[in-house]
Copies of this chain bind each other. A is one copy, B any other.
Amino acid sequence: MSDNEEVREKIIKAAMRIFSQHGFFKPPVRLIAEEAEVSKGLIFWYFRSKEELILEVAVRSLPTDIMEQCLKEGIGGGELLRCIGKRYLDKYKDPILKNLLLHTLSAEALYPSIRAEITKLCGEGLRKTAIMAFGSDDPTHIMVVRSFFGGLLCYVLRPPQDISPEDYLESLMEISLCCPSSSSSEKGRSSK
């Protein structure tokens, strides 16, 4: 039913706001119910348990959707990095999602399903990105992508006030792109 989904969505949105501010474990379900303006009991009609709601929110908090969309668009090279970077910064400029990302990374140690999700993102996702961006998934290029993502995460963690997201992204891309082209072959050797 469509009504069904709307309510479910309302609960998830409320949970995201509450979890963002208080983490996954401190806030009682009652708080989420109040924020969603539904009864406490209703939450357990849509979600088997609080944990199920946490997992639903956690999955949405990761950048999985961004990776998938950008990789699906078939673009390559710097454009792929720009695509990912742009949407990444856009998603996490929302402080709610920024906090949720951290809570989710932290909760990885607790929920195997979150761990699996992140592992896929950092394993397969990273490799695919390297291949589509640089045509190679050798350690050096993986490293560049890794550093690129690290820079993005760093921005999310502490957005610097003296630079816009756009400029930040350009600057980050320049760092990522300037070296590997020339050093990728040497790197392979020197890292030995």
* Residues of chain A at the chain B interface (Cβ within 8 Å): 20-23, 25-26, 99, 102-103, 105-110, 118-119, 122-123, 139-140, 142-144, 146-147, 149-155, 157-158, 160, 162-163, 167-168, 170-172, 174-176, 178-180, 182-183, 187, 190-192
Contact = CB atoms under 8 A, between A and B. Distances in A.
B163 A154 contact: no
B158 A154 contact: no
A190 B175 CA distance: 13
B175 A179 contact: yes
6 contacts: A20-B109, A23-B109, A25-B26, A102-B108, A122-B157, A179-B179
Given A139-B162, A153-B153, A171-B140, A106 B23 contact: yes
A106 B105 CA distance: 8
A103 to B, nearest CB: 5
A154 B162 contact: no
A172 B150 CA distance: 11
A139 B164 CA distance: 11
- What are the 7 A-B residue pairs with the smallest beta carbon separation, nearest first? A150-B150, A106-B106, A150-B154, A25-B25, A122-B158, A147-B151, A150-B151
